[in-house]
Amino acid sequence: MKKTYYITIIGCQMNKSDSERIAGYLEERGYALSDSRDKADLVVVTTCGVRQSAEDRVYGLIPKIKKTNPKVKIILTGCLSSRKDVRGRLKKYVDIWMPITELESLADKLGIENGKSSSLSGYLAINPKYNSKFSAFVPIGNGCDNFCSYCVVPYARGREVYRDADEILKEVEGLVGKGYREIILIAQNVNSYQSKIPNFKFQIPNKFKIQNSKSKIINFPDLLKLANDIPGDFWIRFSTSHPKDMSDDLISAVAECENVCEHIHLPVQAGDNEILRRMNRKYTAEYYAGLIKKIRRKIEGVCVTTDVIVGFPGETEEQFNKTVDLFKQIKFYLAYVSQYSPRYGTASAKMEDDTPKEEKKRREDVLMDILRKTAFEENKKYIGKNAEVLIEGINRKGELFGKTRTFKNVKIRIGHNKLRVTNLVGKFINVQINKAEGFGLEGEVVK
Ligand code: SF4
């Protein structure tokens, strides 16, 4: 009988993507997916250290897994896997500590045949087992060189490493060939992507000129254009971008490439320049606002979303109000608002975390109130218009749900033909929008 595995994922889309590669790796080596964590021979926990709440979940979960399944082997990977304090705290429960960049040597640690040889792109070259049949994360790199003062990623994942353009494009081409409709290119910092041309073998009818051909480097705008030219009916999204690396070439590529969606997620993190300086973000609020203006001018109908942290060490009421002003000025569609919590080993962990919890919560609520209003105003503009929607599933009320190219959630009421409804999952359909809500839209299928 085959040995079985189960994966529990905590955290971001990079962790979800890593888990698809872990699943692919284990299945190539004879493991089968278990339908229960309590019966699996191997449980992999993909951890997140970006927020304290995510870390606390791990401390609760790991002992529980061992208690309900004493014979299980626990593999801990993700952001917490290299941290000495976490290793000390969980050492009696965890059997294998595996920073994700060491995935290729997992077989040795499990005492099984390793099989495949490693590639220059490291673990990113492993064949994944995709979770969805129509939407796929395609990692283009791993790690970060930016060292924002609050962030664990450069310590947890290491410095930036990028995959060959050739390998990425082959993965995208394979997915599109299998009928995938949404390709999400991901890395901690997609827009600092670079791949050297000497390794570049991929051939497609390419109507765009590779801009940096003289320097023999493929950068992110080039990669987008090349992926865009793969024949097929599909969308491309990408995440996450750093404002300092958001070049004019990249904005033009998004505007020109018909398969690239009109959605830019651009973390601002704060609206006050002194806080931005102490966060080591390397831009000012004025630069950021100017960038958004440019993006909106060049990419028709673009939707802009962001990340922001409230209660960073030393953030005064006056400094927070600069973030409030920026939110009112820019009118984001969506923002992931985090209450600051010090992260082990980072530069800001040495600063005094001096904003009380209740005040952080109040600041979060202030920004969410602005967002609800600005998102609703933007959504109202869609009423009476048609939008192409990628259907992601059916909710409990029997309504279809999906997203527009501009990352807006849409619910669609549909008649009683259940088979027809089920067949629409993973397809593009044309929807007439007839209602706007705070963060979503409602509509009907255009006949
Ligand atoms: S850019 Fe900053 S916030 Fe983003 S992963 Fe790198 S260090 Fe972390």
Q: pLDDT of 133-171, one tens digit each?
A: 999 999 999 999 999 999 999 988 889 999 988 889 999
Angle separating helix axes 220-228 and 248-256, nearest 10 degrees: 10
Q: Classify residue 431: in a domain, yes or no.
A: yes
Mean of pLDDT values over 160-188: 94
- pLDDT bin (cut points 50, 70, 90) of residue 206 is low
Query: Which atom of ligand 1 is least distant from the CA of 151?
Result: 8
Mean of pLDDT values over 351-372: 97
Q: Burial code of 102-126, b = ≥16 C-beta within 10 A, e = fewer?
A: bbbebbeebeeeeeeeeeebbbbbb
pLDDT of residue 438: 86
| Helix ranges (DSSP H) in 69-206 | 84-90, 106-110, 153-156, 165-177
Who lines ligand 1 at CB under 6 A?
144, 146-148, 151, 153-154, 188-189, 242
> Residues 30, 101: one domain?
yes
What totals of helices (H) and strands (E) does the chain contain, helices first? 13, 20
> Residues 41, 147: one domain?
no
What's phi and psi for 303, nearest 5 deg? -110, 130
| Helix ranges (DSSP H) in 121-164 | 153-156
pLDDT of residue 121: 66
With a cut of 50, say whether residue 209 has pLDDT above it.
no
- Write out the DSSP string of 369-408: HHHHHHHHHHHHTTTT-EEEEEEEEE-TTS-EEEEETT--
> Residues 106, 140: one domain?
no
List the one residue out of 396, 378, 393 whose CA is nearest residue 433.
378
Query: Which atom of ligand 1 is least distant from the CA of 154?
Result: 7
Q: How far is CA 239 from CA 65, 121, 236, 267, 306, in A?
A: 32, 19, 10, 10, 11
> Residues 236, 146: one domain?
yes
Show which of 76, 110, 144 is a domain's final residue: 110
pLDDT of residue 201: 58
Structure tokens at 436: 């706007």
Q: Give the integer Cα–Cα distance in Å for 55 and 33.
A: 25
- Which residue range is the domain that position 206 belongs to? 132-261
Ligand 1 probe mutation, 12, 50, 152, 153, most atoms within 8 A of CB:
153
Q: Classify residue 202: in a domain, yes or no.
A: yes
Residue 281 CA to ligand 1 center (angstroms) comes to 9
pLDDT of residue 1: 83
pLDDT of residue 134: 97
Residue 145 CA to ligand 1 center (angstroms) comes to 8
Q: How far is CA 216 from CA 44, 194, 202, 213, in A?
A: 40, 10, 15, 5
> Residues 97, 13: one domain?
yes
Within 10 Å of residue 401's Cβ, how many Cβ atoms? Answer: 18
Residue 172 CA to ligand 1 center (angstroms) comes to 25
Q: Give the integer Cα–Cα distance in Å for 423 and 134.
A: 12
Domain CATH number, residue 223: 3.30.750.210
Lowest mean pLDDT among 66-75, 150-159, 196-205, 265-274: 196-205
Residue 11 CA to ligand 1 center (angstroms) comes to 15
Show which of 236, 261, 286 is a domain's final residue: 261
Q: Which one-letter DSSP state was computed for residue 305? A: E
pLDDT of residue 207: 47
Tens of pLDDT, residue by residue over 223-244, are 999 999 999 999 999 999 999 9
Residue 327 CA to ligand 1 center (angstroms) comes to 21
Tens of pLDDT, residue by residue over 366-383, are 999 999 999 999 999 999
> Residues 251, 221: one domain?
yes
pLDDT of residue 50: 84
More confident position, 210 or 6:
6
Residue 426 CA to ligand 1 center (angstroms) comes to 32
Q: How far is CA 308 from CA 291, 315, 327, 348, in A?
A: 17, 13, 10, 16
Q: Burial code of 234-256, b = ≥16 C-beta within 10 A, e = fewer?
A: bbbbbbbbbbbbbeebbbebbeb
Q: How many domains does the chain have?
A: 3
Q: Taking a C-beta distance cutoff of 8 angstroms, is the pair 332, 300 a contact? A: no
- pLDDT bin (cut points 50, 70, 90) of residue 446 is confident
pLDDT of residue 195: 85
Residue 39 CA to ligand 1 center (angstroms) comes to 37
With a cut of 50, say whether residue 202 has pLDDT above it.
yes
Q: Taking a C-beta distance cutoff of 8 angstroms, is the pair 365, 175 a contact? A: no
Show which of 200, 226, 261 is a domain's final residue: 261
Domain CATH number, residue 419: 2.40.50.140
pLDDT of residue 111: 87
Residue 188 CA to ligand 1 center (angstroms) comes to 7
3-class secondary structure, 30: coil
Tens of pLDDT, residue by residue over 30-69, are 999 999 999 999 999 999 888 888 899 999 999 999 999 9
> Residues 79, 158: one domain?
no
pLDDT of residue 204: 52
> Residues 190, 248: one domain?
yes
221: part of which helix (H) or strand (E)?
Answer: helix 220-228
Q: Classify residue 302: in a domain, yes or no.
A: no
pLDDT of residue 103: 93
pLDDT of residue 66: 94
Tens of pLDDT, residue by residue over 11-36, are 889 999 999 999 999 999 999 999 99
> Residues 141, 253: one domain?
yes
Tens of pLDDT, residue by residue over 72-121, are 999 999 989 988 889 999 999 999 999 998 999 999 999 887 766 555 56
Name the percent of the chain lying above pLDDT 70.
Answer: 92
Nearest CA to ligand 1 atom 2: 148
Nearest 10 degrees: Cα torsion 166, 172, 174, 179: -160
Q: Classify residue 374: in a domain, yes or no.
A: no
List the one residue out of 28, 33, 52 whose CA is nearest residue 43.
33
pLDDT of residue 302: 97
> Residues 157, 233: one domain?
yes
Q: Which amino acid is at 22?
A: I
> Residues 66, 178: one domain?
no
Nearest CA to ligand 1 atom 8: 151
> Residues 177, 231: one domain?
yes
Q: Give the integer Cα–Cα distance in Å for 14 and 244.
A: 21
432: part of which helix (H) or strand (E)?
Answer: strand 428-436
Do the bridges between strand 400-404 and strand 409-412 make them parallel or antiparallel, or are there none, so unpaired? antiparallel
Q: Classify residue 399: in a domain, yes or no.
A: yes
Q: Give the integer Cα–Cα distance in Å for 414 and 416.
A: 7
Tens of pLDDT, residue by residue over 289-306, are 999 999 999 999 999 999
pLDDT of residue 415: 66
Domain CATH number, residue 71: 3.40.50.2300
Ligand 1 probe mutation, 14, 150, 159, 188, most atoms within 8 A of CB:
188
Q: Classify residue 362: in a domain, yes or no.
A: no
Ligand 1 probe mutation, 146, 155, 159, 338, most atoms within 8 A of CB:
146
Q: Classify residue 49: in a domain, yes or no.
A: yes
Look up tokens 């100017």; give the residue.
290
Query: Which atom of ligand 1 is least distant from the CA of 189?
Result: 1
Query: Which atom of ligand 1 is least distant from the CA of 280?
Result: 2
